[in-house]
Chain A
Amino acid sequence: MTLIELSHISLTYPNAATPALYDLSLRVEEGATLSILGPSGCGKTTVLRTIAGFEHPQSGQVLIAGRQVCGGGIRCVPPEERGVGKVFQDYALFPHLTVWQNVAFGLRREGKPAADRTVAETLGLVGLGGLEDRYPHELSGGQQQRVAIARALAPKPIVLLLDEPFSNLDPDMRGQMREEVQEILRRTGTTAVVVTHDHDEAFAMADRIAVLNGGRLEQFDNPESIYHTPSTPFVATFVGQADFLLGRVEDGKIHTELGIFPNVNNHPPGTAVEIMIRPDDIHIVPASPGGAQIVGRQFRGSENLYTTLLPSGQHLHSSESSTTVYPIGTTVDLKVVATHIVLFPAP
Chain B
Amino acid sequence: MKEAPALAFYGALPTAQPSGWVAKAGVIGLLAAVGLLVLPPLVHLTATAVRLETLGSVSGSSLALLAGKSLSLAGLSTLWAMALALPLAWLVVRTDLPFRNVGRWLAVIPLAIPSYIGALTYITLLGPVGTVNSWLAGWTGMPHQWVNIYGFWGGVFILGLFTYPYIFLLVCGALDTTNPAIEESARTLGENSLGVFRRVTLPMLRPSILAGGLLAFLYALSDFGSLSLLRVHVFTTEIYHQLNTRFDQSAAAMLSFVLVLMTIGVLVGQRTMLGRRAYVTVTGTARVARPVSLGRWRWPACALAGGILGLSVFLPLGVLIAQAGSPGQFAEVIRDQWGFFRNSLWTAGLAATLAMILGLLIGYAALRARGRVGAGLSGTVQIGYAIPGTVLGLSLILLYNTYLPWLYGTVGVLVLAYLIRFLTQSVQGVEAALGGINPHLEEAARSLAASPGTVLRRILAPLLRPTLFAVWALVFISAMKELDATLLLRPAGFDTLPVRIYIHTVEAEYAKAAVLSLILITLTALPWLVVTRLREKKIL
- Using CB atoms and an 8 Å cutoff, list the residues of chain A in contact with chain B: 52-54, 78-82, 84-86, 88-90, 92-97, 105-106, 108-109, 135, 137, 151-152, 155, 157, 161, 167-168
Contacts and interface: CB of A to CB of B under 8 A. Distances in A.
Contacts of A106: 188-190
Interface stretch (B47-55, B78-86, B276-284): B276-284
Contact of A137 (B187, B279, B284): B279
B189 A92 contact: no
A23 to B, nearest CB: 24
A316 B82 CA distance: 69
Given A86-B184, A88-B184, A135-B276, 15 more contacts: A52-B188, A80-B195, A86-B185, A89-B285, A90-B2, A92-B184, A94-B185, A94-B186, A95-B280, A106-B188, A109-B190, A151-B185, A152-B188, A152-B189, A155-B190
A86 B280 contact: no
A52 B189 CA distance: 11
Given A79-B184, A79-B187, A90 B283 contact: yes
30 contacts: A52-B188, A53-B187, A54-B187, A79-B184, A79-B187, A80-B187, A80-B191, A80-B192, A82-B188, A85-B189, A86-B185, A86-B188, A88-B184, A90-B284, A93-B182, A94-B185, A95-B204, A95-B279, A96-B203, A96-B204, A96-B277, A97-B203, A106-B188, A137-B279, A151-B185, A151-B189, A152-B189, A155-B189, A167-B2, A168-B2
Contacts of B199: 105
A76 to B, nearest CB: 13
B194 to A, nearest CB: 11
Contacts, number: 85
Contact of B187 (A78, A90, A108, A167): A78
B181 interface: yes
B131 interface: no
Contact of A94 (B182, B195, B276): B182
B184 to A, nearest CB: 6
B24 interface: no
Interface string B383-399: 00000000000000000
Contacts of A161: 188
Interface in B245-279: 276-277, 279
Interface of B: 1-2, 179, 181-182, 184-192, 195, 199-200, 203-204, 206, 276-277, 279-281, 283-285
Nearest to B282: A95
Contacts of A135: 276-277, 279
Nearest to A93: B182
Nearest to B207: A96
The DSSP consensus for interface residues of chain A is loop
A52 B186 CA distance: 12
Contacts of B203: 94, 96-97
A89 B181 CA distance: 9
Contact of A105 (B186, B206, B281): B186
A212 to B, nearest CB: 19
Contacts of A97: 203
Contact of B285 (A53, A90, A151): A90
Given A78-B187, A80-B187, A88 B192 contact: no
Contacts of B190: 80-81, 106, 108-109, 155
Contacts of A168: 2
Contacts of B204: 94-96
A168 B181 CA distance: 15
A85 B187 CA distance: 10
Nearest to A83: B190
Contacts of A94: 182, 185-186, 200, 203-204
A194 to B, nearest CB: 16
Nearest to B278: A137
Contact of A88 (B185, B276, B279, B280): B185
Nearest to A95: B279
Contacts of B280: 95, 137
B279 A92 contact: no
A90 B179 contact: yes
Nearest to A92: B181
B339 to A, nearest CB: 55
Given A96-B204, A137-B279, A90 B181 contact: yes
A345 to B, nearest CB: 38
Nearest to B279: A95
A82 B191 CA distance: 11
A111 to B, nearest CB: 14
